[in-house]
Structures are given as C-alpha cells and as structure tokens.
Structure 1
Amino acid sequence: MAENNGIPQELINRINELAKKKKSEGLTEDEILEQKKLRETYLAMFRENFRSHVEMLQVFDKNGKEVTPEKVKEIQRKRGLRDD
C-alpha cells in the first residue's frame, strides 16, 4: 500500500474518483456520505502528520543559535526527543 505523506494512496485515489464522478454525472446518496467520510479521514490524517512534523522541528537563527519555541521544546521533551 503506497502512502503519500502518511496518507494511503488508495484513500487519495478514491477521493479523486468520487470528485471526478461528482463533476461528470453526480453522486448517489451513499457516495456523498462516503465522500464526506473519506475527506474527514484524509483531513484527520493530514493534521496528525503535519502536527508530528512541526513537533519534530528545531529552529535556528542566522547565527546558528537554536530558537525553537518553548512550547515545541516541551512537546519534544515529553516524547523523549530532547534531553535538555
């Protein structure tokens, strides 16, 4: 199962199939519900993936000094990603 940034390609493909069908011939009530659930799933996965990436970041100024926000540092400490 291929993934696109942590999101299964099959999920993206089905969302795209339904979007194309909606434009060309319309969707049944069941397909409308499926489309809504798939989009909700996609957004939840996207948000979790994005949050994970942000929480892994370290920010440095132009002089090489770390300026990662304290809130992010605290999350990293809780996850065992920092030891300072």
Structure 2
Amino acid sequence: MLAVRTRINELAAKAKTAAGLTPEEEAERKDLRAEFLANFRAAFRSQVEMLQVFDKDGQEVTPEKVKQIQRENGIRED
C-alpha cells in the first residue's frame, strides 16, 4: 500500500510539471488510484465491522446490523 501511495504521489508531482504525464502514466495513475481506494474501503469496512459501541453506563449499544455482520464473520457468538 505504501508503494502505491508513493507512486501516486510521484505521478501527481510530475503531472504538475510542464512535461505532464504521458498517456501510459495517466492510465497507471488511474489504476493505482482505483487500487488505493479499494484497499482503503476494505480496511475501513473491516474497522467498522469490528467496532463495538457502548453508552455512558457501559451498556453495549452496537447497531444490530453490525452485530449480525460480526456473527456472520465469526467475531461475535451472541
């Protein structure tokens, strides 16, 4: 993921120069952005699916939809 982000930044810097990007580099940048977003979304979804919410009294108030996903993934047994 770090290599993808580094390459995206390199291409972004080059795009700002007078030379700009070649058509191949533009296609590469598009593919890298798509890969980066897919990885970001997967990581974010994983974080949300692992979350537990508690109220100020210490009672769990995790939404039922999240609990169901956790059960399906074997994270929760209740």
Q: Which of 46, 51, 65 is 2:40 aligned to? A: 46
Query: What RMSD, in angstroms, separates the aligned Cα atoms of the two structures?
Result: 0.5
- 1:79 corresponding residue in structure 2: 73
Q: Name the TM-score, length of structure 2 as normaliser.
A: 0.96
**CA deviation profile, 1:37-80 (whole Å, cap 9, x unmatched):** 00000000000000000000000001100000000000000011
Letter in 2 for 1:40: A
* Distance (Å, rounded) in 2 between the aligned partners of 1:49 and 1:37: 18
- Give the structure with the higher percent strand: 1
Runs of at least 4 residues off by over 4 Å: none
> How many residue pairs align between the two structures?
77
- 1:16 corresponding residue in structure 2: 9
Letter in 2 for 1:82: R
How much does 1:17 deviate?
0.1
Identity of aligned residues (%): 61
Based on CA coordinates, which of the two structures has the bigger radius of gyration?
Answer: 2
